[in-house]
Amino acid sequence: LATDRPEIFTIVGESGSGKTTLARMILNMVPPSAGTIRFRGQNLAQIHGGAARLAFMKQVQPIFQNPFEAFNPMKKVDRYLFMTARHIAGLTALPEIEAAADRALRNVGLSLAEIRGRYPHELSGGQLQRIAIARALISKPSLIVADEPVSMVDASLRMSIVNLLRQLRDDLRMSIVYITHDLATAYYISDRIIIMRKGQVVESGAAREVLDNPRHPYSIRLKQAVLSPEVAGSAGGMLAESAAAAGEA
């Protein structure tokens, strides 16, 4: 697997397929059992020490599945943004820190004034996930790893988050590894895609090509399992359903 340009590279698979484990390896949270993972030519297994890890974290940021678990209910959400600006982005002056937080929030349709001093329970799941994305943007990363970022968000808000990721790819010119079990959003958002089963990549390629004309038996079954009978013959139906959901968001 490789990416060297602004794109959304999607990893699809059912629960237990290994997609989250792969995400954790890309984030250098767990070592691979075999092979190597490189970022800008550097083997992640050779990143040691605080300075090297900090440099990696500035460039590669995560967005996790559950926004409700990403924030301590007893801590104001703006603290997370300020801590990232200080400890990851390396900013020291309070005006700089607040400006960086506000810029990141505006990239996701919020502002520091809207969320300042608020606790997680005072915000919706969609707002919390947007704040989590903003936190990831503060250090101006070149790669974001988004692990099931919409699965815990209300259905009416999912496409707004998906559209936001597309906007970040286009406006900020970043690469996004998007991990999901949802073929509808995968079809809508992806430039390239791989389909995983039991820790193995069974199919890969351009997203439209793979999902419109799957070749591997597992890919075919996966597509048929998630589509309604009326649209089972065409992945274009997934795009129509996704667009409809986006209109409702």
| pLDDT at position 227 | 54
Higher pLDDT, 202 or 155: 202
Question: What confidence tier does 56 reach under pLDDT thresholds 50, 70, 90?
Answer: very high
Give the CB-side neighbour count of residue 123, counting CA atoms within 13 A: 26
Question: What confidence tier does 146 reach under pLDDT thresholds 50, 70, 90?
Answer: very high
Kindly state the average pLDDT of the residues 51-80.
Answer: 92
Find, among 71, 78, 75, the residue nearest to 115 by Cα: 78
- Whether 111 maps to a domain, the answer reads no
- C-beta contacts of 28-35 below 8 A and 24+ residues apart: 28/53, 28/56, 28/60
- Whether 125 maps to a domain, the answer reads no
**Averaged confidence pLDDT in the chain:** 87
Give the number of domains in the chain. 1
| pLDDT at position 245 | 47
Percent helix / strand / coil, the chain, rounded to 5: 50, 15, 35
CATH of the domain at 48: 3.40.50.300
In the predicted structure, residue 48 carries a pLDDT above the cut 90 = no
Higher pLDDT, 156 or 55: 55
- Whether 100 maps to a domain, the answer reads no
In the predicted structure, residue 76 carries a pLDDT above the cut 90 = yes
Kindly state the average pLDDT of the residues 102-107.
Answer: 94
- Whether 104 maps to a domain, the answer reads no
In the predicted structure, residue 229 carries a pLDDT above the cut 50 = no
- Whether 174 maps to a domain, the answer reads yes
- Whether 203 maps to a domain, the answer reads yes
Residue numbers of the domain that contains 14: 8-73+145-248
- Whether 42 maps to a domain, the answer reads yes
6 CB-near residues (< 8 Å, 6+ apart) = 169, 170, 173, 174, 175
Kindly state the average pLDDT of the residues 129-151.
Answer: 93
| pLDDT at position 216 | 93
- Whether 222 maps to a domain, the answer reads yes
